[in-house]
Structure 1
Amino acid sequence: MEIVAQMDPSVGIDSLVKPTIDMVRFTVTTSNPRQTHIEYLPYPDEKFIDESLQFYSNEKRPLEEVYLRRNKVFIDGLSVEIVSVTAVRNYNPVTEFLHPYLYTITVRHGPVFEWIIHKRYKHFHDLHKALAHYIERATGRSISSLNKSDLSEKESNNDQSSSLSKKHEDQPCFPTRNDRLSFINQFTIEDRCKILQNYLNKVLKHPKFREHIATREFLEVSSLSFIQGLGVSIKEGAIAKRSIADIRGRSIFLRVPFVCDKLRCHHAQQWFVLKDSYLVYMDSDSALIGFPMLIDKAFSFNQGYQKTTTNNGIKIKNSQRSILIKFEKEDDRDTWFDCLRNVTRKSLFVEQILFYSYAPRRQQQYAHWFINGQSYMEAVAKAILAAREEIFIAGWFLSPEVMLIRPCDDGSMRLV
């Protein structure tokens, strides 16, 4: 008995096509960072409004905030956005093996301020880790549990899946795998940059994330960055500092090159700000400003172990004091060294000034020549009455009982 089996020709085709489709779907899913190895960062509060306490017409924060130590960075009412993120493959095969790409980030704050920073993936990861820790302390739950609860809620409530998806779309989405484990190459690096740019912009959208200390350090800004009258920040960053005199009087056995750099007492990291004419350091948490160093004619800086007696250090000196700053990596040291060299070349205080003065000639200043004491006293009285922030009086001798404006019927024109 002969049995003839009639088979549908489409069955054989489907058996061949189906594995191929599954393989393509698997490849697309694993290559899409939005589908795997990501972590959503919930906002501290879902319904937030970036309320501005005060708007400044000159688009800078007033100098008064430095003395009040409000420790606020960005200007109220002005947006902070990441304009672009690009990357180049530039790394040390030993120390930067897991992070081969160097990302160049362009940041814009309002219509006036724009600066460029350079980061690697580990800096993004440190920022995300710090913000996640902040959320965990605020909510009392871990990030994984928060994401799992949203996922379980989405699976249980199919009607609300669209709203939950929109909620995740609004939250910062961070790729948790580094460049090596994600197999980032020249074909996928552009998508990687877009993901990181989108993550940063969503982080900067929330006022609490924007003013977080980790975000400030990542963007290399501080409470001195956008202050009226303090100049433009050339370079900022957290650096370990110590005075040159810290090693004086210590035993010679503690100065052995192999152990000296570890045993030497470096101070805790301070936030350094390099402006166009001075270098100052401050405490990031309290906004307490340390000693500012003017870039004067005696300003000098050196690097190298023979001149600094430390690894990856820069010795800075001016006519008033000397300090030693120490970096974790050689690249950071070289970047700061180049910034110091460029600022020194352009500073007006390092040039030979008329009559050997420490300050150069400048136009449109408030200084004025007085012939006699009457006009001088009247100008002092008017300046004191018009003062808005502080009154600083310096001199060899002070007579507060002197009447500044004469004639006067009462003692209101005296200092005390």
Structure 2
Amino acid sequence: MISEIKNNVLYVDGCNTIELAEKYGTPLYVYSENAIVKECRKLQECFLNKYENTRAAYAAKAFSCIAMCRIIEREGLCLDVVSGGELFTAIRAGFPAERIEFNGNNKLKEELELAIDYGIGRIIVDGLQELNLIESICRQKNKTMDVLYRITPGVDSHTHNYITTGKKDSKFGIPLDDDVIYPAVEAAINSSYVNFKGIHFHVGSQLFDNKSHLLALETVLQLVKNIKERFNYDVTELNVGGGFGVTYTDEKQKSYEYFLDPIMERIIEFSQKMNIKRPAVVIEPGRSVVAEAGVTLYKVGSIKDIKGIRKYVSVDGGMTDNIRPALYQAAYRGALANKMNEPADHTITVCGKCCESGDILIKDGQFAEAQAGDILVIFTTGAYGYSMASNYNKNPVPAVVLVKDGKSTEIIRRQSYEDIISRESTEELW
């Protein structure tokens, strides 16, 4: 996050957060464009420019909107989408079709049709039935599509179960049983409507150890070797996913190089030993690009001090704008944006306004003394805040503001109550 403190107030990318809250209202998602660009440039320096025949596809599920797609395009990254909605957003943003890949474990027919009509670069096939569906659409439209197979590498990444995706018992990916994977590969190789490019894996999210990536890579390289020996077919692309962890509280974040250099060294070594051209290598960073670029601003309301037990400080948002603490006990840091230099010597629990006991954003955090009307900031909310927001209790989804060098612009307007009920019928029933 690009931030500083002036006169006891938090500034983000040159913008006064108290003024932002007054101008745009709260809750408010605030993103630093310079912080996003900084992460993109890191990827360029340590991966894209360092190794030829590589791509970095930003995982749109972390945070997706038209403005974000345009930043990603400008910075030379590709885009990984997982739904028709994310794809439609990219199309509206004018994102180049050839730089889009489509992931997901249950792509709908209409989503695949949209992808094939737009001519996207890759479809990551996640299940055995999906290939037949893609072929039937391509046959009807007289088109061909480049595909990769997402496999389940069978490694445990030792992260939360909800964000572990590489274990054999997973809804994602094709299992590596011989009687499953090889007939599927052969079908893709022999298809007239798809070009089989290679293999994809993703071992999980919010990772700080490269062991699971490297273990999964060994499994994939053995698969590449077997495909060569069985079908005399060269895999030309490997997608090693993302999952690079960020700092929410006191985690020790690792560099991109920590993950990517050993991966590239092993792929290069393998290719030389096999006497094949080194496959293209693709990564899918999402959280690491936007998480620390974003903060959320709230206004403090009701305060409930239960003597000897806990002090609850309520804010005007909650689990509707950040479900992660309730969903998988995610921990965050926060502060009072208008009292940044005051001692953080009060233990409080920041809770939301939803009618749920689990609507807790920060449990027993250290803050300056909070009063109604203060602006409370929670850091590192740029990933999976807005993208997972809901209208639970009919609460509006907050606005999103992009800031850069002291300037701000609203890139997603706040929902109104009218927006919330806009799709509801007002006709009398029966």
TM > 0.5:
no
**Which has the higher relative contact order, 1 or 2, with Cα contacts under 8 A spaced 6 or more apart?**
2
TM-score calculated relative to the size of structure 1: 0.24
* TM-score normalised by the chain length of structure 2: 0.23
Q: Which has the higher strand share?
A: 2
Rg comparison, structure with higher value: 1
